[in-house]
């Protein structure tokens, strides 16, 4: 099997290298064929691996591939841990990546950087595979940063656009803040566990539990919180979420692949993978849950006031990532992964549908300049509808099952603040339905607000764009119904996730109340989230189609609230003022005051003046040429040597006798 796993990981890397180095010589068709072939190989093999592990129940594979370094007794290797969680992730990542690769043919066809783009997304796929397949923290960190790198390169892909370049830098730096915590977390973990290997760490977890650091703080809690800071960066949790909306500056295919379906879920994956240690710290879990809830609700609210089609979807992604994080907090890791998976399908679908609209309108992204597109773009319309219904949790669709399970899991949780978080996630359903359908109605229904030229040219884009939409629409409908039972209740993920059921009973309680996917569907009509969804949908309809002037009136009436929302709670301003400008001011201050004035003026030039004074005494030989300085150096050396050798109390050479 080792070769199979290796092939999965390396196929996209090889594609990326070939296309990256020789893309301009190979030409477009050959380049994209190579890249797509690489990812197709991975996808097929990922299916095989999924069948092998998840369906056939094969043994967990855990082996090192090569030793990266061996320092004393500490081994750091590149290695693979393939269990059911990894298998699910491999399949999701490779499948979405394949769809995005195909979609890119149509989306980027007019772009100069066509082959480079393929190289990057293949490289990303490789990095993401390395992240999910890792069996140790060193490689996890490698994958973690490598996906961040490709994200940086792709956000700034249109490098002539100042805003894109700005956004890419911001994304990298904010992620680095997360990685800062993440790396310290790994370092603390190494100190107390003495190994970087997952399985060894998990077996030692109980032994380390109870040890303290910084006086009397639990080591496990510190490790978990530091690791979670990393997750907050990658998975864009408040307050490290600020980079994700900006990442929409990148081409849409990568918004779907990286900034919706895969990379941003790395944090969710990581915490699930680390469940054996997170389970030991209620403090950490509570923090995870609360941060997730804050992100879920407050980022959702921002989705309501956005008018850029991609940004609405981006805020929706933030909010959904918040939901997944909440699930992690209440120890419902499998539910988080379940939502991660359904979300990957329907959110990639929504982004690609948005991209389809953007292409059709010649890169117009303002939803106020769209409208009534349903007749002109029927495939995009239907698939976007499916994606939207899945997102808002319409009964039967994929998102319905996963989101409902998260809400129920919170309901059963007994962590402190769980009741507040429950209200937040329930109310979040209303918000989700509201912003999602608002956008949907404005774009596809109502009156057309397109300009004359666009109006005449709008049509459904090429097959390479519509086919991925259709293919993604299918799992967006059925995947929840099909997989809820095995994934959550009959043990698909049992060999990857550990829950201390005696303390954290949410999932056990879910299991107790669960009868069948169909039963859940029947029951849905009497649940609060359902009516929240209906309410949000109605509200969206009212404000965007029925009484379009009401929105404006409300905005004027509550202009303060509106201001807060439109300024995105001021996070960007705060970051600009405190961090960006603050560090520049600090740097300027340190440089001018300390380096240039204190050290250079007083100390160095002070001594230089002294030298010059001495130099003026011996003016005849002081000509200012460098040779002479060099010469003096040697002379000086000789003098010092002579002095030590023949003069002083204990001369080395006794002159005379």
Site for another protein in 52-81 (CB under 8 A): 66-74
616 vs 650, which CB is nearer to another protein? 650
Q: C-alpha angle with apex 543: 398 to 385, nearest 5 degrees? A: 25
Report whether the peptide linkage leading into residue 239 is cis, meaning its omega lies within 30 degrees of zero.
yes
212 vs 307, which CB is nearer to another protein? 212
Is residue 187 close enough to count as binding another protein by CB under 8 A? Answer: yes
Q: Residues 55, 525, 578, 611: which binds another protein (CB under 8 A)? A: 611
* H or E segment to which residue 43 belongs: helix 28-50
- Region class of 107: left (phi > 0), else alpha (psi between -120 and 50), else beta: alpha
| Burial group, residue 184, by CB count within 10 angstroms (0-12, 13-18, 19+) | middle
Is residue 210 close enough to count as binding another protein by CB under 8 A? Answer: no
Could you say which residues in the range 109-138 bind another protein, by CB under 8 A? 138
Shortest spacing between CB 461 and another protein, in angstroms: 28
Is residue 570 close enough to count as binding another protein by CB under 8 A? Answer: no
Is residue 188 close enough to count as binding another protein by CB under 8 A? Answer: yes
Q: Residues 28, 176, 369, 449: which binds another protein (CB under 8 A)? A: 176
Is residue 183 close enough to count as binding another protein by CB under 8 A? Answer: yes
Could you say which residues in the range 374-403 bind another protein, by CB under 8 A? none
Q: Of 84-92, 146-154, 339-347, 464-472, which segment contacts another protein by CB under 8 A?
A: 146-154
Shortest spacing between CB 362 and another protein, in angstroms: 21
Is residue 602 close enough to count as binding another protein by CB under 8 A? Answer: no
d(CA 226, CA 237): 14
Radius of gyration of the chain (CA): 30
Q: Which residues pair with 76 in a beta bridge?
A: 69
71 vs 617, which CB is nearer to another protein? 71
d(CA 42, CA 13): 11
Is residue 606 close enough to count as binding another protein by CB under 8 A? Answer: no
Q: Residues 191, 463, 577, 647: which binds another protein (CB under 8 A)? A: 191
d(CA 590, CA 602): 15
* Token output for 82: 């393939």
Is residue 165 close enough to count as binding another protein by CB under 8 A? Answer: yes
Could you say which residues in the range 213-232 bind another protein, by CB under 8 A? 213-214
Q: Residues 22, 44, 65, 177: which binds another protein (CB under 8 A)? A: 177
Could you say which residues in the range 25-44 bind another protein, by CB under 8 A? none
156 vs 461, which CB is nearer to another protein? 156
d(CA 57, CA 68): 31
Cα 55 to chain centroid, rounded: 29
Q: Residues 179, 249, 404, 408: which binds another protein (CB under 8 A)? A: 179
156 vs 371, which CB is nearer to another protein? 156
Q: Of 52-60, 141-149, 480-488, 566-574, which segment contacts another protein by CB under 8 A?
A: 141-149
d(CA 606, CA 404): 73
Site string for another protein, 625-654 (x = CB under 8 A): -xx-xx--xx-xx--xx--xx----x-x--
Residue 244 CB coordination number (10 Å): 25
Shortest spacing between CB 193 and another protein, in angstroms: 10
Is residue 583 close enough to count as binding another protein by CB under 8 A? Answer: yes
3-state DSSP: the chain helix, strand, coil percent, rounded to 5?
A: 75, 5, 20
Q: Of 395-403, 427-435, 519-527, 606-614, which segment contacts another protein by CB under 8 A?
A: 606-614
Is residue 547 close enough to count as binding another protein by CB under 8 A? Answer: no
Dihedral over Cα of 271, 272, 274, 276: its sign: positive
Print burial letters for 4-27: b (CB count within 10 Å at least 16), e (below 16): ebeebbbbbbbbbbbbbeebeebe
416 vs 582, which CB is nearer to another protein? 582
Length of the chain: 657
């Amino acid at each position: 099997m080792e070769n199979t796993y290796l092939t999965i990981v390396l196929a996209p890397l090889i594609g990326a290298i070939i296309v990256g180095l020789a893309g301009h010589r190979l030409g477009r068709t050959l380049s994209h064929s190579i890249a797509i072939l690489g990812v197709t190989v991975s996808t097929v093999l990922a299916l095989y691996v999924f069948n092998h592990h998840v369906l056939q129940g094969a043994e967990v594979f855990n082996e090192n591939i090569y030793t990266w370094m061996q320092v004393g007794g500490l081994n750091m290797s590149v290695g693979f841990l393939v269990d059911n969680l990894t298998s699910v992730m491999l399949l999701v990542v490779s499948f979405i990546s394949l769809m995005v690769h195909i979609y890119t043919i149509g989306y980027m066809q007019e772009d100069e950087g066509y082959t480079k783009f393929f190289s990057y997304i293949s490289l990303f796929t490789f990095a993401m595979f390395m992240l999910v397949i890792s069996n140790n923290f060193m490689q996890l960190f490698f994958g973690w940063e490598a996906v961040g790198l490709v994200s940086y390169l792709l956000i700034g892909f249109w490098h002539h656009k100042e805003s894109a370049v700005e956004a890419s830098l911001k994304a990298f730096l904010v992620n680095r803040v997360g990685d800062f915590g993440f790396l310290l977390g790994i370092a603390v973990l190494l100190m107390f566990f003495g190994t970087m290997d997952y399985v060894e760490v998990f077996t030692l977890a109980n032994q380390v539990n109870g040890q303290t650091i910084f006086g009397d703080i639990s080591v496990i809690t510190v490790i978990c919180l530091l690791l979670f800071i990393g997750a907050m960066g990658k998975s864009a949790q408040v307050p490290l979420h600020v980079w994700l909306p900006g990442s929409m500056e990148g081409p849409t295919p990568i918004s779907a692949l990286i900034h919706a379906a895969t990379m941003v879920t790395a944090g969710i994956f990581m915490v699930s993978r680390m469940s054996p240690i997170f389970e030991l710290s209620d403090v950490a879990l509570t923090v995870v849950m609360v941060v997730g809830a804050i992100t879920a609700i407050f980022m959702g609210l921002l989705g309501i006031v956005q008018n850029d089609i991609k940004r609405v979807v981006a805020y929706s992604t933030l909010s959904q990532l918040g939901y997944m994080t909440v699930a992690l907090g209440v120890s419902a890791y499998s539910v988080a992964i379940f939502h991660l998976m359904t979300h990957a399908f329907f959110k990639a679908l929504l982004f690609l549908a948005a991209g389809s609209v953007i292409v059709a309108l010649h890169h117009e992204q303002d939803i106020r300049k769209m409208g009534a597109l349903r007749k002109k773009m029927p495939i995009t319309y239907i698939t976007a509808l499916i994606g939207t219904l899945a997102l808002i949790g319409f009964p039967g669709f994929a998102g319905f099952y996963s989101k409902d399970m998260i809400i129920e899991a919170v309901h059963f949780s007994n962590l402190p603040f769980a009741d507040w978080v429950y209200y937040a996630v329930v109310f979040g359903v209303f918000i989700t339905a509201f912003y999602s359908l608002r956008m949907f109605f404005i774009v596809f229904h109502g009156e057309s607000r397109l300009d004359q030229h666009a109006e005449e040219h709008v049509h459904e884009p090429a097959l390479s764009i519509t086919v991925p939409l259709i293919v993604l629409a299918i799992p967006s409908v059925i995947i929840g119904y099909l997989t809820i039972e095995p994934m959550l209740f009959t043990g698909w993920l049992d060999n990857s996730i550990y829950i201390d059921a005696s303390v954290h009973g949410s999932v056990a309680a879910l299991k107790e109340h669960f009868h069948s996917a169909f039963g859940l569907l029947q029951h849905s009509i009497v649940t609060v989230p359902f009516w929240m969804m209906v309410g949000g949908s109605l509200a969206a309809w009212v404000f965007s189609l029925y009484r379009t002037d009401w929105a404006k009136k409300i905005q004027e009436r509550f202009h303060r609230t509106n201001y807060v929302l439109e300024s995105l709670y001021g996070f960007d301003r705060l970051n600009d003022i405190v961090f960006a400008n603050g560090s520049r001011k600090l740097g300027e201050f340190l440089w001018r005051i300390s380096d240039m004035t204190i050290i250079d003026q007083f100390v160095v030039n002070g001594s230089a003046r002294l030298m010059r004074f001495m130099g003026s005494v011996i003016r005849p030989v002081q000509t200012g040429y460098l040779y002479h300085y060099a010469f003096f150096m040697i002379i000086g050396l000789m003098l010092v040597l002579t002095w030590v050798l023949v003069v002083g109390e204990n001369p080395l050479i006794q002159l005379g006798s």
